[in-house]
Chain A
Amino acid sequence: MGKALRPKGWVLLAYLLPGLVLYSFVVLIPILAAFRYSFFSWTGGPKKQFIGWENYAEIMRDEVFWRSFLNNVLMTGYGLIGQVGLAFVFALLLMSKLVKWKGLHRTMSYFPSTLAPVIIAFLWMLIYNYNYGMLNSGLKGLGLGSLVQSWLDLTGPIVLLVSIPLSWQNIGFFTLLMLAGLSSINKEVLEVAELDGATGVRKAWYVIIPLAKPTLIVASLLCIANNMRGFEHVYALTGGGPGNASSVMALYAYQSSFLRFRYGYGSALAIAIITLTMLIIWLSTLGLRRRNQEGGVY
């Protein structure tokens, strides 16, 4: 670092401050406020009653919350496979000579990312619909009529079914991220793999993985953060149903505040979500670091 480049402290501060102030104002203050409310029994209006850690104690016992948490974890798992994993494969395919019309694929696969979650949910409701859904018509067309289901009414695989639209929407974004991260890889590596067949693929794998690791880590962290606080798709697609089968933490916190008038408890849930998400991210970076000593992005 050349000394000449280094500005005075106050210049630095002047540049960084507007962003920090704005960000703290909208992001941090409400969280601190929520933290304060989380110690109250508050049903709306001016009356609040201080109850100490009671709300947190209730969270520990709240089966619905922990079920929602598990659903978040499950969704994150599906997301890592369906968004990051598939995107990685797509990116490799798009870099290889295997696939034609690359420009078309890149342009189109990103398009769903530009759509509002409501529209995504609307589309997938019609795909999953029992009577006129495309999934069931497809199954019938293939002679698999026995598999026809009322998909969103299944309690078992509901989290998977809700995760699929999310993956479909985000795959384009992650593919681009991967393509960018992999752009440093010498194209010849992949060509060699193609010409040499299976052994070549294995060789290429050893070359690609270390190079792709940083990008994979960042993509995974983004994916974890998105899925742990996920709300909109579930809200629009199933509303957490049937019953609580597809409920997620943010949805549950929202329902506690807005449907049950429990603003204090809702605030405690918000704090719990943030804490749990940080915990999971911390654990996963720890895991990733251990395997990749020099890795880790931040």
Chain B
Amino acid sequence: MEMPLELKAQHSARRILLHPAKLAVNALMLLFTASCIFPLLWIGYSSLKTQAEFANNILSLPQAPQFGNYLEAIRLTNMLQLSWNSARVTVLSVIGITAIAFVTGYITARIDFRGKKAMLFYYLFGMLVPIHALLVPIYLLFKNLGLADEWYTLIIPYIAFNLSLPIMLVSSYVTGIPREMEEAAAIDGLSFSATMFRIILPMAIPVLTTVAILQFFSCWNEFSFALVLLKDEALRTVPLGMSYFKSQHSTDYPQLMAGMILSMLPVTVIYFAFSSRIIAGVMSGAVKG
């Protein structure tokens, strides 16, 4: 156990490559990782095939790339409009979620008040709600208040149904921040609000980034609310656009896949651009009990 560090590293590196069990573990991990990225590649190159080529062999590479599929997909779905709508709704929802989760998470982590447990439980309860079974009451509610079919309509449920996990993550992250910071701030005469926003907020950036990005994906991909609560075609979001490729009696798969790639594009770019930060954030914000 008293081995020098470098030696230990070398030693274990050799063991990894030599030991068959370790080789197997590595191979399995690689296989799993490959399976995670394969869909992107497969949908990517399949979207460049002709319909006949795809029907013939779903795994083969395209013979001559059909970039026309993309032009057609963009034309059919008005992808720019859809993306703009999705982006607007998603960004505003994410800002709302992050703000509420931060304030609520911070307060529950630091302050004891009557009903705190009940409130946390109440927020967690949101994770149990089967929204697909409640579409009619939700529609009625929005319609009666005149909130359906507006540009901001979707932001409301997207924030509300995505609060549970973020509040939990922020709360446990803040619990991990030493109290000395706030006590010092209090001695300096900072108010509660100032402490929260000027001292804690900057320290909570990692977990807030994580929360933002996690919820970004679920807002971007949401379908049911978008279908039921919106009537105006000019307000439709990306997931609704995917149905343009399915007609009643036949589906043009390569074109559908071109549409999928276009719909995934913003999310995928964001993910790979920020992946190291998301992961760092998740890891720092995790629940430590």
Distance (whole angstroms) from the CB of A271 to the closest CB of chain B: 9
Contacts of B157 in A (CB 8 A): 26
Contacts of A228 in B (CB 8 A): 128
Q: Which of A249-263 contact B (CB under 8 A)?
A: 249-251, 253-254, 257, 263
User: Are B128 and A229 closer than 8 Å at their CB atoms?
Assistant: yes
Contacts of B58 in A (CB 8 A): 126, 132
Distance (whole angstroms) from the CB of B112 to the closest CB of chain A: 7
In the bound complex, CA of A225 to CA of B164 (Å)? 12
User: Are A192 and B1 closer than 8 Å at their CB atoms?
Assistant: yes
Known contacts A11-B192, A116-B223; is-contact A181 B286 (Cβ 8 Å): yes
Write 12 A-B pairs (CB below 8 A) sorted by A numbering: A15-B103, A16-B104, A19-B163, A97-B12, A99-B26, A109-B32, A116-B223, A179-B283, A180-B286, A192-B1, A214-B287, A214-B289
Digit string of B100-117 for contact with A (CB within 8 Å is 1, else 0)?
A: 100110010011110001
Assess whether A157 is interfacial by the CB under 8 Å rule: no
Of A117, A194, A270, most B-chain CB atoms within 10 Å: A270
Assess whether A245 is interfacial by the CB under 8 Å rule: no
A: residues with CB less than 8 A from B are 1-2, 4-7, 9, 11-12, 15-16, 18-20, 22-23, 25-27, 29-31, 33-34, 37, 90, 93, 97-101, 103-119, 122-123, 126, 132, 134, 168, 171-172, 176-177, 179-181, 183-184, 191-192, 194-195, 213-215, 217-218, 222, 225-226, 228-229, 231, 235, 249-251, 253-254, 257, 263, 266-267, 269-270, 273-274, 277-278, 281, 295, 297-298
User: Are A33 and B287 closer than 8 Å at their CB atoms?
Assistant: no
User: Are A22 and B159 closer than 8 Å at their CB atoms?
Assistant: yes
Q: Which of B78-134 contact A (CB under 8 A)?
A: 100, 103-104, 107, 110-113, 117, 119-130, 132-134
Known contacts A12-B111, A16-B104, A116-B221; is-contact A27 B126 (Cβ 8 Å): yes
User: Are B111 and A29 closer than 8 Å at their CB atoms?
Assistant: no
In the bound complex, CA of A253 to CA of B156 (Å)? 24
User: Are A270 and B133 closer than 8 Å at their CB atoms?
Assistant: yes
User: Are A114 and B217 closer than 8 Å at their CB atoms?
Assistant: yes
Contacts of A123 in B (CB 8 A): 39, 42-43
User: Are B137 and A4 closer than 8 Å at their CB atoms?
Assistant: no
Contacts of B282 in A (CB 8 A): 176-177, 179-180
Assess whether B182 is interfacial by the CB under 8 Å rule: yes
In the bound complex, CA of A278 to CA of B72 (Å)? 48
Q: Which of B118-174 contact A (CB under 8 A)?
A: 119-130, 132-138, 140-141, 156-157, 159-161, 163, 165, 168
Distance (whole angstroms) from the CB of B91 to the closest CB of chain A: 16
Known contacts A5-B192, A31-B129, A253-B132; is-contact A215 B289 (Cβ 8 Å): yes
Contacts of B160 in A (CB 8 A): 22-23, 25-27
User: Are A108 and B123 closer than 8 Å at their CB atoms?
Assistant: no
Contacts of A263 in B (CB 8 A): 136
Which residue of chain B has its CB nearest to the CB of A169? B36
Sort A-B residue pairs by CB-CB distance and give the 10 closest, nearest first.
Answer: A180-B286, A214-B289, A4-B186, A7-B192, A26-B160, A270-B133, A253-B133, A116-B221, A180-B283, A30-B137
